[in-house]
Amino acid sequence: MGMPENGEALSDRLVKERAKSGVFIVGSMGAVNLVVGFAGSLVLARMLVPHDFGIVAIGSTLMMVATALGWVGAVAGLVAYAMVSRGRWNADSLAFQGTNMLAGVTMLTVAATNGVWPSAAANIAAILIGANAVATVLRAKKRQAQSAPTLTVVEDTSRDDAEPAQPAVGHRAYAEAA
């Protein structure tokens, strides 16, 4: 699995192979982490009285929930990046900006929970940039809607007696307002 030569694009097959191997490696690391965490919980359960172990268990559960949210955020960020890179979303689309903001919020939760303040600050910046982009997109859509021409209904009231009888419903034409 070497790098493409001379700036050539990766084939879809090669991208899929690399994605599968990456998912396997990350999944394997997650499984190892769970096994080590479980073993640590067993050791703590033997060392602590039930009341103290309950407090540790609640803390561990909250950390696990925060970590799961972090994974959701990481996947959301990667999906957003992939969608823009493949041309399915525009960088100024609400879907892209919203997904990036979701990723930032969830990864901020993990960073703050673990005390990783540089990452937390970077995620706050990403959220603020996303919020500014969303506000800009919404303002542009509002301006576009306000400046869009409106349609008015014009009834056809002229009747020529030489024409055959018209149906009961009159003819309507739509004209753009100036």
DSSP letters for 52-110: HHHHHHHHHHHHHHHHHHHHHHHHHHHHHHHHHHTTSS-TTSHHHHHHHHHHHHHHHHH
pLDDT at 105 over 90: yes
Model pLDDT, residue 88: 93
Model pLDDT, residue 41: 81
Q: What is the value of pTM for the model shown?
A: 0.57
pLDDT band, residue 120 (cuts 50/70/90): very high
Q: Which residues contact 107 (CB under 8 A, 6 or more apart)?
A: 70, 73, 74, 77, 119, 123
Closest-CA residue to 65 (of 133, 114, 11) = 114
Q: How large is the C-alpha radius of gyration of the chain?
A: 29
> How far is Cα 60 from Cα 45, in angstroms, rounded to an integer?
13
